[in-house]
Structure 1
Amino acid sequence: MNTWVDIKVYPNKLDPSLMEPCKCKVGSTLHQWLTENVPAYYESEEPLFTVLINKQILLPTNWKTYQFKAWDDVNIIVEPKEPATIAYAVIAVIAVGYAVYTANQIPDNYNSTTPDGSSIYDVNTQGNKPRLMGIIPEGAGRHKIYPDYLTMPRREYIDNEQWLYLMLSVGVGRYEILSNEMFIGNTPTTSYAGDIDIQVFEPGENVTGHEAFRNVYTSSEVGSTSGSTGIELKGRVTSTGGDNGSYEYSFAGDELLVHYVEWDAELGRPLRFKSVPPFSVGEVLSITGSLNGQNDGYFELLNKDSDGSQVNKVDGQSQDDPTWTSFVTESTSSATVIVEDGGGDGQFNGPFFACPAGEVTDKLWFDFRLPQGLGELDDDGNFLSRTVTVQIEYRAEGAQDWTAVDDEVFTSSTNDELGRTVPVTLPSKIRPEVRVKRATAATDDTRIYDDIFWTALKAELNSATSYDGLTTIAIKIRGTNALAGTAENKFNVIGTRILPVYENGAWSAPRPTTDIAPFFAHVLKSAGHSDDKIGLESLNTLHPIWHGRADEFNAVFDSESTVFEVLKRVLAVGFAEPTIDYGKITPVRDQKRTIFRHMYQPDNYVGMLKRSIKLMDDDEPDGIEVEYFDPVTWKSETILCLLAGDEGANPEKIRAFGITNRDKAYQFGMRKRRIRRYRRTRFDFKTEMDALNSKYLDYSAVADDIPGYEQTGTVVGHVGRSIYLDNPELKWQTGQTHILALRKPDGTLSGPYNASLGTESNEVVIDADLDFTPVLDGSIEPPLYMFGISTRWCNGVLIKDIKPSSTNQVSVTAELDDERVYLDDDSPAPTTTSITIPNIYF
């Protein structure tokens, strides 16, 4: 059995294609259904719509008694108010929100930085990064921040331990950063006592007191990344072939052939392999040099190309001897040949430029690493001391001669990894070329540990000694295993912005604050506006309201925006918007109002008042899903905001930029949801210059000339509390409280006053003395009035837009206010509707 009856609502009698479908329970009366579902419904002697049941008119006298049947065909048709004027939307059948976003809607993205930076709002990109040619972030309130690189990270060996230096920018302005609110990843830096040194510098403070201030360039040619092994410094190699083999050498013409002879125990004889260790097997070398006997002496080995031409001459100590023609042909196993491979005494590694083209320096660092330690095992397993010497030379760009620095000597007896950073100070600033070689001979003896690598070449460029307008952090971190994987790009802080606060008519000393008002004023002042361009009076009024409600603005701006867009974001969390009022940028809060500022009625309209209501749309969202930033996890979370009857299956998604509190996110979303549902009636009208008295979001009384609403006109007389009106046929309703409101000469509303019938038909007696003296001599326009019962004497509206359309006409748009909009402004969030957004959401 069908328990519902269909109701069709036609807002325009002349256009039957416009229809809103609704449902009502069988057995209900029309009066019950209207009372439950239509917020604007009231009983009237002249209804604004006609009801048809099975194509027969249902008289208003039967609305409370007739019960709907399952087979009824119910039609509600809005009637014309008068010829040529249609009341398009008087019935608000189901109270749903506007489908169109208002101007102060939070954008559907947090920030979009170009170039990419360390945006806190994208968990996939959180980290310390350079922000070349980008926007310097600016924090508001209390928020997590990943500071950006001011100089590139650099490493340095100190006492065989690697330390990392970071110079970072927290952001524009001053911040309170507590020692227990600095982190590497998610671990407080206080957990690394002794392994980390941090110093916070205020804007403009000299930063040279910390070694991290240096702007150091690391050459990519040597090995600039933390995982690079660098360049192995290979020395001269002396080898006899070991216990199981030996080398034999053949000299013939200009060729040296080297053979390795290995003893094979199974065959009982040696095996001869043609090879040229430590060169490629079978490689033939040409040799030039000076002789000190038959074939004895020092020779410079040159690789021979396939066509016989000489290539890759090795740097050596001997000079070519043009008188030498060839070796004396000789085969011997007793010869000792010393060869060089990849550097060492006689061959440098490099040269490499220490800094980019166009830069100069007078400070260099060379990093060396001995991954197996340094020492020698004796036959008893004792670790003996061993020494390796490294030579460093430099020259200016374009110069011919090299300058040597003091040899760097490494001596130790350990198999623990060793590392050393060698600083070199140049006598003047140049663009240096550098080269490095190992001066100590190498060996293939497995009991000797002396491999050495050149891992980094660094040069100091021009370094800033202070940073005006920025809070900076200098960090020195010991490269322990616990820090190695995260220290370089996961350092973060929770900072609270320090700003002066305007309160009690004056600016206070700067202090840490999360309040809305201080940052609102700061945005304007930082844009160059002085106090006389800021609505300080309104700010002084709203600050204690926001502060008392714990409304805060906590955010980081790291993308381009306009001042006005930033102000809209800042004020939105306090249910407010920025406006320009007589040259001042002033905040205006949307809050519950009870005092009317101005009166507008047919006597000061130009043309007719137009009323429109947004009816139900099948695609409208049935809730609000608010995304906010959680202050514990510092990740995005959501909360669902629903009214009675909302299922939340198709919620509208908004982002509460600047909100880091779950209750505040819920209040923010519920305010949006209630506006969508209960502010659906819009008024459009024109006046002469009267409307220029009003301001954005002013609460004003608007009269409608629809029968059954308020009665309006002009005042014709005044004696004490007796007000005489131009209408001798005022409609008084038995048992109702009546209201009279008057318009003062400046357009503001006087009253409303409780009214009673006087001795004459046009006499109204008010319950208090007037707060102005009416002028009725014709020198100015007489006072206007609005009269009606207490629940329906005016439409309480919020002024949304005022546009002068000529020198003597102003267009006004207003919304009908509804006290239900504000009912969740202090409500705590429910406990079961929060979800964490996956990283991919962004």
Structure 2
Amino acid sequence: MSTQVEIKVYPNKLDDSLYESCTGLVGQTVNSWLKANVPAYAELEQPLFSVNINNRHVLPCEWDTCTFKHNDNIKFIVESKDPATIAYAVIAVIAIGVAIYATNQIPDNYNSTVPDGSSIYDVNTQGNKPRLMGVIPEIAGRHLIFPDYLTMPRREYINNEQWLYLMLCVGKGEYEVLDDEVFIGNTPVTGKPNDVDYQIFGPGEDVTVHEAHRNVYTSSEVGSTAGSTGIELKGRVTNTGGLNGRYIWSFEGNKLVVHREDFEPEVGTIRYKTTPPFSVGETLKIEGSLSGQNDGYFELLNASTSGSEVNKVDGQNQDDPSWSSFVTELNSNANVLVEGGGGDGQFNGPFFACPAGEKTQKIWVDFTLPQGLGELDDEGDFLSRSVTVRIEYRDEGAQEWSFVEETYSNSTNDQLGRTLPIELPTKIRPEVRIKRVTAANDDTRIKDEIYWTSLKAELDSATSYEDMTTIAVKIRGTNALAGSAENKFNLIGTRILPVYENGAWSEPRPTTDIAPFFTHVIKSSGHSDSKIGLDEINTLHPVWHNRGDEFNAVFDSGSTMFEVLKRVLAVGFAEPTIDYGRIIPVRDQQRSVFQHMYQPDNYIGLLERTITLIDDDEHDGVEVEYFSPITWKSETILCLLPGDLGVNPEKIRAFGITNRDKAYQFGMRKRRARRYRRTSFTFKTEMDALNSRYLDYCALADDIPGYEQTGRVEYIVGRSVYVDAILKWQSGQSHILALRKPDGTLSGPYTATIGSSSNEVIIDSDIDFAPVFDGSIEPPLYMFGITNKWCNAVLIRDIKPSSVDKVNVTAELYDDRVYLDDNSLAPT
């Protein structure tokens, strides 16, 4: 009985007519067969293929125990793992590896690298602003930040000083902010400890410890903008006739008791007297009584020092039969009806304190007295004076009003401001009206004008903010700060991230390095460590760090993960690629060790070469725009090669670079690549090219006569290599021989000398692999030529499978001159 079983490998699960037949042994497990027959096989969290035996899907956890049996119908099916990538793989005895490449160009256009609507990179729009339904800013490295409003700014008077409260979002994640790097406009707040109080909260911390956390809505009807005069509260004017005074009414049954209160500045005392202020038969209009229960028109029937009898009438002096007596309200203000000879001023409002659909249990009303409060006597001294206002409120749709009365007293001609907080019994949508109770006066020596400047209501307030750093700010409204405090609060923050180095993650720390933010972008998109090229990060992180390459930028508008990764890596001369389902960084850097060999024996068709000639109209330099870490504004630097005039430079922006030398290096790399990378190659292979990755450094054979010779190795004895052709040696030249290993990588190159036969080459060291000549696999291929013409050194730029057995490859001629300014300092 045969011990072999057939294994069918399907490269395309949508076409079951295409498969490759392989052989396994009865009793072998899935994993043991893969390890024995597929050199590039690795156990992955998400395998690149599925296994089906007898129409049953075999889970990866069963691969170590599931064995092949006689007559089993065994299928290995390649699965696509990324809908944005062409997934292609073939599992077979000769399968070496799989590379998946997505073409990426380093962004070099300002409009495509700077997010639309950025508040950082456009100096005309720098400032704090709300980001309704927008993207939470993501900051990389160290950068200037104008935090966004989490709640709208609000102002409040405390001890006659106006304070501004701001609750701001620094950005997503955690940041280090130094005290001397917090500013209002260009002014550091460290020099104003009595004027600015701020507190930074990390992600998830309780923000209620700072008063600025409150989410306060400011009514636009009253005058919410900074500097608004507000609504003047006008009282009825009393002509004092030389003496300052007022009338105060109280009720006793149907009697109106009137007291006259006079103030004599010379004496400095207040005296009272009872007097009827009106004549019998006169009609009084009373308004603004407590809860409005005594409002209306009243006719004076008789007057005496003990009280005046009145009768309630309508507007046409007709008796009101429903009225019997005044309603006495038993509280501290029960007997006070109005102040002043002519009654109260008019109500202003009502205005709703919060938007429709919202409710509040706390409101604030702000008042200003722009001329101060007091009275000037004959000696020029300011005497004390008081003014009383009445605040009434009710729920939306309610009939009855509740009220608060507030009296302010002072003796100053300095501007005054007051904020009155009012706690409501329950949550309502209040409408508020206010009037001045104290009568106004036409005496120019009296300063008591009062304005209602703001109506605010507290809405539901967040107690913490997950996944973002916030800052609560309280700013005194001094002249030095008032003009820019509300929308020019800014700071310099450094992102705190873990760093993958020496094969492990470090504790989070402030960092400006490229690698930490690169890995953060991938992990924050929901991917695990298994999807990140951590080995490549471990290799490139010290290269970037030691060179001083940094990525300092602000992302404050939408983008894709891959576009962000391209911007992050561009400052380190690298690009992201996808390999075996992992996102890895690949750096364009100087090379000396070839990775793979391609020559006519593994081409399909001919090698095509394209050379771009220098055009008279092309750019003669590169102008790089970068962000200065001193001014935090854009600056430019011109990057020129010898012979460049710089009259028509290519304009690019070094997004993420905040260092002049690094901007120069970035621009010179771009300029040198434009000048010296002008030759490209295209060719096709079978499966061979899938061994290579993006930007691999490879040896490519030319088909131009007089250059290298290529072919197959027939056999090797020690250091003698016998090839399938007669080699052409050039007198006086040193020669090179390179061999292709079974996995497609290049062995050598070796220094070659002529052997005793026409097809023998003697190399200077032992080969580093075991060649196979039994026909089970392809024999080693070779390339032979003089030292400077034995191959074309190329960088792989594009690998695209075109069918199940063809791969299109684009390569670019390598030139060391591209890298000569990678460490240059910018010219002064």
TM-score bucket of the superposed structures, by smaller chain: 0.7 to 0.9
Q: How far apart, in 2, do the equivalents of 1:758 and 1:236 lie?
A: 122
Q: Retained in 2: the 8 A contact 1:111–1:559?
A: no
Instruction: Indicate whether 1:360 and 2:359 are aligned.
Output: yes
* Residues 103-132 of structure 1: CA deviation (Å, up to 9, x unaligned): 222332266667x56x11000000001111
Number of the residue aligned with 1:537: 535
Secondary structure of the corresponding residue to residue 750 of structure 2 = strand
Residue 681 of structure 2 corresponds to 683
- Cα displacement (A) at 1:543: 0.2
Is the 1:233–1:344 Cα contact (8 Å) retained in structure 2? no
Partner residue of 1:140? 140
SS in 2 for 1:367: strand
What is the root-mean-square deviation in Å for CA atoms of aligned residues? 2.3
* Cα shift at 1:230: 0.8
Write the letter of the residue equivalent to 1:613.
Answer: I
Structure 1 residue identity aligned to 2:180: N
Q: State whether residues 368 and 421 of structure 1, in contact with CA within 8 Å, keep that contact through their aligned partners in structure 2.
A: yes
The answer to whether the 8 Å contact 2:109/2:651 transfers is no
1:806 and 2:808 equivalent?
Answer: no
CA contact (8 A) 2:175 2:494 kept: yes
Q: Which residue of 1 aligns with 2:464?
A: 466
- Counterpart in the other structure of 2:106: 104
- The residue type equivalent to 1:103 in the other structure is Q
> What residue is the counterpart of 1:768 in the other structure?
765
Q: CA deviation at 1:294?
A: 5.8
**Structure 1 residue 347: Cα displacement:** 2.8
**Distance in 2 of aligned mates of 1:536 and 1:106:** 27
2:327 matched to 1:324? no
CA distance in 2, matches of 1:387, 1:797: 89
Flag structure 2 segments of 5+ consecutive residues without an equivalent: 1-102, 244-276, 288-293, 299-311, 320-337
Q: Distance in 2 between matches of 1:721 and 1:486?
A: 79
Structure 1 position 496, deviation (Å)? 0.2
Deviation at 1:242, TM superposition (A): 8.2
Deviation at 1:612, TM superposition (A): 1.1
Q: Do structure 1's residue 126 and structure 2's residue 126 form an aligned pair?
A: yes
TM-score in terms of structure 1 length: 0.76
Partners of 1:734 and 1:565 lie apart in 2 by 53
Verify the 8 A CA contact 1:681 1:815 in the aligned structure 2: yes
Is 1:167 the counterpart of 2:167? The answer is yes
Residue type of the partner of 2:365? F
- Select the residue among 782, 788, 801 that pairs with 1:785: 782
SS of 1:179's partner is strand
Contact 1:237 / 1:340 at 8 angstroms: preserved in 2?
A: no
| SS class of match (1:798) | strand
Does structure 1 retain, via aligned residues, the 8 Å contact 2:234–2:345? no
3-state secondary structure, aligned to 2:125: coil
Could you tell me how far apart the structure 1 residues matched to 2:741 and 2:157 are? 82
Q: Which structure 2 residues correspond to residues 561-640 of structure 1 after superposition, within 5 A?
A: 561-640=559-638
Aligned partner of 1:193 in structure 2 is 193
| Bigger mean CA deviation after superposition, 621-630 or 380-389 | 380-389
Assess if the C-alpha contact under 8 Å between 1:395 and 1:434 holds in 2: yes
C-alpha displacement at 1:346, in angstroms? 5.6
Measured after TM superposition, the shift of residue 442 of structure 1 is: 1.1
Shift of 1:317: 6.2
Q: Which residue of 1 aligns with 2:817?
A: 820
**CA distance in structure 1 between the aligned counterparts of 2:240 and 2:493, rounded to whole angstroms:** 66
Shift of 1:615: 1.0
Once the two structures are superposed, the pairs formed by residues 391-540 of structure 1 within 5 Å of their partners are: 391-405=390-404, 407-540=405-538
Shift of 1:239: 2.2
- For residues 577-606 of structure 1, what are the alpha-carbon distances to aligned partners after superposition, in whole Å with 9 as ceiling and x for unaligned? 000001000000001111111110111111
Residue 107 of structure 2 aligns to a residue whose secondary structure is coil
Letter in 2 for 1:781: E
| Aligned match of 1:708 | 706
Per-residue CA deviation, residues 388-432 of structure 1 (Å, 9 max, x unaligned), is 111111111100011122x21101111111111000000110001
Q: Is the 8 A contact 2:297 2:314 kept in 1?
A: no
Q: Find the residue that maps to 2:802 and give its secondary structure.
A: strand
Choose from 548, 551, 575 the match for 1:550.
Answer: 548
User: Residue 234 of structure 1: SS of its match in structure 2?
Assistant: coil
Aligned to 2:346: 347
**Alignment map for 1:224-373 (pairs within 5 Å):** 224-239=224-239, 296-299=282-285, 318=298, 320-321=313-314, 324=317, 345=344, 347-373=346-372
What residue identity is the alignment partner of 2:386?
A: T
The 3-state SS of whatever aligns with 1:177 is: strand
Partner of residue 180, structure 2: 180
With over 3 angstroms needed to count, the CA separation of the structure-2 counterparts of 1:478 and 1:400, relative to structure 1, is same
Which residue of 2 is the match for residue 307 of structure 1? Answer: none
Between the aligned partners of 1:349 and 1:417, the Cα distance in structure 2 is: 22
* 1:124 alignment partner, SS class: helix
Given that 1:344 and 1:438 are in contact with CA atoms closer than 8 Å, whether structure 2 keeps it comes out as no
How far apart are 1:238 and its partner, in Å? Answer: 1.4
Q: Is the partner of 1:181 in helix, strand or coil?
A: strand
Partner of 1:736: 733
Q: Partners of 2:179 and 2:759 in 1: how far apart?
A: 76
TM-score (norm 2): 0.77
Distance 1:390 1:801, change over 3 A: same
- The residue type paired with residue 577 of structure 1 is E
Separation of aligned partners in 1, 2:538 and 2:763: 36
For residues 688 and 792 of structure 1, the distance between their equivalents in structure 2, rounded to whole angstroms, comes to 26
User: 2:376 maps to what in 1?
Assistant: 377
Counterpart secondary structure, 2:123: coil
Q: Which amino acid letter does the alignment assign opposite residue 167 of structure 1? A: M
1:54-65 maps to which residues of 2 (within 5 A)? none
Letter in 2 for 1:813: T
Aligned to 2:322: none
CA contact (8 A) 2:104 2:575 kept: no
CA distance in 2, matches of 1:324, 1:419: 43
CA offset digits 1:341-386 (Å, max 9, x no partner): 9x97263211111111100000010101111111111111121111
Q: Secondary structure at the residue paired with 2:823? A: coil
| Alignment length (residue pairs) | 657
Preserved CA contact (<8 Å) 1:111 1:558: no
Percent identity of equivalent pairs: 74
Deviation at 1:745, TM superposition (A): 1.1
Residue 272 (structure 2) aligns with? none
Q: Which amino acid aligns with 2:370?
A: P
**What CA deviation, in whole Å up to 9, does each residue of 1:259-290 have, x standing for no partner?**
xxxxxxxxxxxxxxxxxxxxxxxxxxxxxxxx
- The alpha-carbon distance between structure 1 residues 554 and 239, as it changes in their structure 2 partners (threshold 3 A), is same
Letter in 1 for 2:609: R
Mapped partners of 1:136, 1:172: distance in 2: 6
Secondary structure of the 1:204 match is: coil
The question of whether the paired residues in 1 share the 8 Å contact of 2:297 and 2:315 is answered with: no
CA distances 1:84-106 after superposition (whole Å, capped 9, x unpaired): xxxxxxxxxxxxxxxxx972223
Aligned AA for 2:121? Y
Contact 2:621/2:639, CA 8 A, preserved across alignment: yes
Task: Confirm or deny: 8 A CA contact 1:702 1:794 kept in the other structure.
Answer: yes
Structure-2 separation of matches of 1:784 and 1:112? 48
Match of 1:153 in 2: 153
Q: 1:751 to 1:112 in 2, by over 3 A?
A: closer
Paired residues of 1:235 and 1:340 also in contact (CA < 8 A)? no
Secondary structure at 2:523 match in 1: helix
The answer to whether the 8 Å contact 1:141/1:497 transfers is yes
